Amino acid sequence: MEIIKQIAAFHGDLTEWRHEIHAHPELGFEERRTADFVAQKLAEFGIEVFRGVGRTGVVGRLRAGTSPHSIGLRADMDALPIEETTNLPYRSQHQGRMHACGHDGHTTMLLGAARYLAETRNFDGMVHLIFQPAEEGLGGGAAMIADGLFDRFPCETIFGMHNWPDLEAGRFQLRTGPMWAGAARFDITVTGHGAHAARPEAGIDPVVIASHIAIALQTIISRNLQPVDAAVLSLTQIHAGEAYNVIPERAVIRGTARSFSRGTMTLIEDNMRRIAAGVAAAFGATAELDFRLGYPPLVNHAPEAAFIADVAATLVGDENVDRNGELAMVSEDFSLMLEKRPGAYIQIGNAGAPGARGLHHPGYDFNDAILPLGASLFARLVETKLARA
């Protein structure tokens, strides 16, 4: 493994930074302490700092040489509303908040690359170091873009990275084209007619209707999509009524849909609307669908996917880079940035000790051993893409 020696030399600092961030997790758009920490480190490295991009986001600008070419590197900063169950000395100091997805590690790896690049400046062009808020469902990527991210901080290409606990440390994986799914949330409100539970004939029961809709919706994936199109439609909540002896006026069905293309997501939405309204009408009720697309599918651009895979191979060997990794139904708002600029997203192996927990688990912890490797990949992307003539 060819980790950059200068980065390996400050592995201890990286670990200390990661533990500091882990101990003070902040939810989306509340990352003020984390943003302060990031901005302070970037300033110490001699990097120009811009605060408040997309509310709590931070961007560092570093130039070397005279080339007009540019690159963007992105890491996420927010934590999750989870109560940590580890007994680590650096465990969360804030009840109900935890870095259970490794964003503390992502931020640290990008800071490590920033320090190395600022010290060596072995490139020719402009680097934008993008520390994004609110990845976990709140749209921090969209907020940064709306705040003029790519107008204010030009990026010809952009790259991101996420740890993957199911992948052995020292390995990378990605795929060209769709890699992670797009996600949508929905609410279906069924309106019937309330009545006494002893006189169901006097009402139109939305609970029964919602049950029929819930079953009918399961035919969308099996009967409306082509068998080769992967998608998931999950009903996760049904709410109706408050009393044992009252047929309620309304029932609400909630859930999520995930797919690997916008076209498939539109097909799911259209069929949900048709089925919900049709089933409800058959019972003399109405049903309204509120379908909200969150993150689009994450789609890696072919040249950039090949590029980041090639650079990763220089660090760990081609045999340790899976260029045809599995599709995953998880979602990630780096997808929004990839819709605006060519780029790619890669997974870095994060498997730790036996019994280590997966992402979003209250017992999860980032594997500090991979911090120099992730920082080295970020740094090598810059030195290769913006190589000196």
Structure tokens at 382: 């810059």
The structure's pTM equals 0.91
pLDDT recorded at residue 356: 79
**pLDDT, tens digit, for every residue of 241-257?**
999 999 999 999 999 99
Residue 259: give its domain's CATH number.
3.30.70.360
What span, in angstroms and rounded, lies between the C-alpha atoms of 159 and 178?
A: 15
What span, in angstroms and rounded, lies between the C-alpha atoms of 170 and 348?
A: 8
DSSP 20: H
Distance of CA 90 to the CA centre of its chain: 24
Percent of the chain with pLDDT over 70: 99
What span, in angstroms and rounded, lies between the C-alpha atoms of 370 and 109?
A: 9
Give the burial class of 321: count Cβ atoms within 10 A of its Cβ; 0-12 exposed, 13-18 middle, 19 or more buried. buried
**pLDDT, tens digit, for every residue of 69-90?**
999 999 999 999 999 999 999 9
Domain boundary among 295, 328, 361: 295
Same domain, 67 and 131: yes
Higher per-residue pLDDT: 295 or 313: 313
Q: Which domain holds residue 114?
A: 5-179+297-385
8 A C-beta contact, residue 305 and residue 153: no
Same domain, 217 and 305: no
Total number of domains constituting the chain:
2
Does residue 141 surpass a pLDDT of 90? yes
Strand partners, 374: none
Same domain, 332 and 289: no
Same domain, 168 and 279: no
Residue 24: give its domain's CATH number.
3.40.630.10
Does residue 260 surpass a pLDDT of 80? yes
Rg value, the chain, Cα: 24
Same domain, 206 and 115: no
